[in-house]
Structures are given as structure tokens and as C-alpha cells.
């Protein structure tokens, strides 16, 4: 069935099912594509300008020829949302997926009448697809597991550029899915032995009332991560970047993950060992409450409501960006 939703693809709006890019695209050949995933709160996009700014840093560094200005792209984002809103429920939030690649490789230009163009995609789908299955994590907590897959250091392929060369994150997820128990989320160390980030999220610990996160070196500098600094500032809580060793996580009072779709998720265990008392951390809760207040959405309730609404989602256990499989070894 046609959802009715439309995708912006290289200057046109096409149906979701027809939104396809060429097998000759550099994105497929090299994983050579930058992207952003956004979300709304009460239908209002959150930090869209910051997402677009990060995207354009990647476009610049990868030398992708981009005709659209950041303002053009922002307008396209809003236009896409406007076209799709009729197909969303009142309680739905808009999750945009923005993909940009340099387009088909030059050697294949005869296929395209020698007219090669940058590939630009803006898709818009309900946020609940991403977050519905996270609902139990607010009661059960994440078990962060250290995987042997390391984060790629910036001097090899800079993870600060949000790019589609993500097979190492996928490998981290596959590894995490091999661990016993449930709610296992991969945590990657950099080659220096310090914690870097998760496979789709940034990582924080809390010790003696201070919030710590890995230095923004071998990880994506998350928009959510940056907002945690803002919220901590609003609350008068100290938040600092620091090299974090596994030892610091084992001995922390609290830990949490951050990422655009869910904002903050509490981590109760690290390698199956309780973090602090293994329950919802006090400061983690304060940050979630403050965030909820700032955006006018009860973060936990919204995800729990989506969880109830989408109980049937992902019945086939296909991989999700945040979990490779939901039933391995359970």
C-alpha cells in the first residue's frame, strides 16, 4: 500500500517506494555519503540548523559538489514535512533522513548522458519506528557492552563527519547481539583504550554529581551530546569532556546514552555489572525531566506510548540501527 509520504530526491518529490538511487552512486561504491537524521518535538524540528551545519562540514571536507545552500536545504526539509504531515497522526513526530553524495562515479557518466549530479535525499518518516522498541529500556536500562570492534580514529576516517561508511558500527552491533541477556548496546573504545561512543549514540557517566563524556575526538560530536552541555549549564551541573577508561564506567554512579531519536537512555549495567546501584540514576532523571520541560514533551511517556502503539513493529527481528537482533541468545 502506498503510504502517501513523499521523498525529496534531486529536485523532485517521489513516492517512498520510488525513492531509489543508482547502483553507480559513489554512496554505494565507496560508502561515500554524508547524512543527518533529525526529529521533532510536538512536530517542531529540533536543532535542524545544527544538523544542517554538521552535514555541510562533511560536504566541505569530502569535496561534494553541492549546489544547494544550507538555507535551500533547510527550506526543502520544511517543505518535505509540510507535504507529509497529512499522512502522520496527531501524536507522530517527524524524523527526517537527509542523505547527500557526489552522485554516480565519473566512469559511468555515459549511462547518464554525461550529466552527473549530486544525490540529495530528504525523507520523512514517523519517529516511532525508531524508538518504539526502546520503551522497556526506561524500566530495565541499557546494558552497555564493550565490544572488540574499535572506533575508527579520526586520523584514519574521521567519525566527526556523519557518514555512511558504517560497517564497523554494524559489526559492533552484531557483536553486541552475541552477548547473553537482553538490552545489550555496543560501546566502542578507540584504539587508545578510552571509551569513544556507541554504535549510534554518545556515552556519558556521572560521578559525584559531575557529568563526564569522552573527549570529542574519535566519536561523532552528537547534537544531543551538545544539548546535554546546554541543559547541564541551565541546571548548574558540571559537565566535562574527559578520557574515560572502562575502570571509570565500572566505578561511576550513573551512566547514560544520548542520540537524536530518544534523547537520553539510562544505562543500568556495564558488561553485566551494575553501574552505581544499577537503577535509574538521579542526575540522569533530572536531565530527562529538564529536557522534557524545555521541549514540552514528556520524553519517557512519549516513547512508552509509541511502544504501546507499535507493539507489532519489527516482529521479523530484522536489524534496527540500534540493535542487530532482538532475540539472539535470550
Interaction site with ligand PMP (CB under 6 A): 37, 169, 197, 200-202, 219-220, 222-225, 258-260
* Length of the chain counted residue by residue: 330
Would you say 259 or 266 has its CB closer to ligand PMP? Answer: 259
Nearest to 210 by CA among 186, 187, 190, 228: 228
User: What distance in Å separates the CA atoms of residue 247 and residue 237, rounded to the nearest whole number?
Assistant: 23
Q: How far is the CB of 148 from ligand PMP (least distance, A)?
A: 17
- How would you classify residue 201: left for phi > 0, otherwise alpha for psi between -120 and 50, otherwise beta? beta
User: What distance in Å separates the CA atoms of residue 163 and residue 141, rounded to the nearest whole number?
Assistant: 28
Q: How far is CA 19 from the centre of its chain?
A: 22
Would you say 22 or 258 has its CB closer to ligand PMP? Answer: 258
Q: How far is the CB of 200 from ligand PMP (least distance, A)?
A: 4
Q: How far is the CB of 80 from ligand PMP (least distance, A)?
A: 19
Radius of gyration of the chain (CA): 20
User: What distance in Å separates the CA atoms of residue 271 and residue 95, rounded to the nearest whole number?
Assistant: 31
Q: How far is the CB of 188 from ligand PMP (least distance, A)?
A: 9
User: What distance in Å separates the CA atoms of residue 269 and residue 279, rounded to the nearest whole number?
Assistant: 9
Would you say 32 or 197 has its CB closer to ligand PMP? Answer: 197
User: What distance in Å separates the CA atoms of residue 141 and residue 12, rounded to the nearest whole number?
Assistant: 43
Q: How far is the CB of 261 from ligand PMP (least distance, A)?
A: 7
Cell digits of residue 65: 559538489
Q: How far is the CB of 231 from ligand PMP (least distance, A)?
A: 13
* Shortest-Cβ-distance residue relative to ligand PMP: 222
Nearest to 239 by CA among 251, 254, 250: 254
The CA-to-CA distance between both ends of the chain, in Å, stands at 34
Would you say 185 or 268 has its CB closer to ligand PMP? Answer: 185
Give rounded-to-5 percent helix, strand, coil for the chain. Answer: 35, 25, 40
Would you say 132 or 152 has its CB closer to ligand PMP? Answer: 152
Would you say 84 or 202 has its CB closer to ligand PMP? Answer: 202
- 3-class DSSP state for residue 36? strand
Q: How far is the CB of 116 from ligand PMP (least distance, A)?
A: 28
Would you say 126 or 200 has its CB closer to ligand PMP? Answer: 200
- 3-class DSSP state for residue 62? coil
Would you say 119 or 202 has its CB closer to ligand PMP? Answer: 202
Q: How far is the CB of 326 from ligand PMP (least distance, A)?
A: 19
Cell digits of residue 275: 553501574
Cell digits of residue 292: 522534557
Amino acid at each position: 500500500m502506498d503510504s502517501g509520504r513523499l521523498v525529496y530526491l534531486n529536485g523532485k518529490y517521489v513516492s517512498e517506494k520510488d525513492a531509489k538511487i543508482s547502483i553507480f552512486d559513489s554512496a554505494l561504491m565507496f560508502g561515500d555519503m554524508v547524512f543527518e537524521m533529525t526529529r521533532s518535538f510536538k512536530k517542531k524540528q529540533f536543532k535542524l540548523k545544527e544538523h544542517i551545519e554538521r552535514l555541510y562540514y562533511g560536504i566541505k571536507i569530502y569535496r561534494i559538489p553541492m549546489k544547494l545552500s544550507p538555507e535551500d536545504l533547510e527550506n526543502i526539509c520544511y517543505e518535505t514535512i509540510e507535504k507529509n504531515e497529512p499522512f502522520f497522526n496527531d501524536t507522530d513526530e517527524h524524523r527526517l533522513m537527509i542523505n547527500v553524495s557526489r552522485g554516480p562515479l565519473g566512469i559511468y557518466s555515459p549511462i547518464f548522458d554525461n550529466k552527473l549530479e549530486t544525490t540529495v535525499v530528504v525523507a520523512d518518516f514517523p519517529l516511532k519506528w525508531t524508538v518504539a522498541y526502546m520503551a522497556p529500556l526506561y524500566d530495565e536500562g541499557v546494558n552497555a557492552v564493550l565490544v572488540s570492534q574499535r572506533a575508527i580514529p579520526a586520523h584514519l576516517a574521521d567519525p566527526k563527519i556523519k557518514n555512511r561508511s558504517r560497517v564497523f558500527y554494524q559489526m559492533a552491533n552484531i557483536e553486541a547481539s552475541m552477548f547473553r541477556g537482553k538490552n545489550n548496546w555496543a560501546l566502542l573504545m578507540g584504539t587508545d583504550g578510552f571509551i569513544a561512543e556507541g554504535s549510534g549514540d554518545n556515552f556519558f557517566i556521572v560521578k559525584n554529581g559531575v557529568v563526564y563524556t569522552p573527549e570529542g575526538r574519535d566519536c561523532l560530536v552528537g547534537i544531543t551530546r551538545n544539548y546535554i552541555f546546554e541543559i547541564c549549564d541551565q541546571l548548574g551541573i558540571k559537565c566535562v569532556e574527559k578520557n574515560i577508561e572502562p575502570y571509570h564506567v565500572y566505578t561511576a554512579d550513573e551512566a547514560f546514552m544520548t542520540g537524536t531519536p530518544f534523547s537520553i537512555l539510562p544505562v543500568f549495567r556495564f558488561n553485566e555489572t551494575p553501574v552505581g546501584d544499577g537503577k535509574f540514576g538521579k542526575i540522569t532523571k533530572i536531565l530527562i525531566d529538564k529536557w522534557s520541560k524545555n521541549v514540552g514533551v514528556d520524553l519517557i511517556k512519549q516513547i512508552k506510548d509509541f511502544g504501546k502503539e507499535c507493539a507489532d513493529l519489527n516482529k521479523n527481528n530484522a536489524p534496527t540501527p540500534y540493535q542487530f537482533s532482538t532475540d539472539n541468545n535470550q
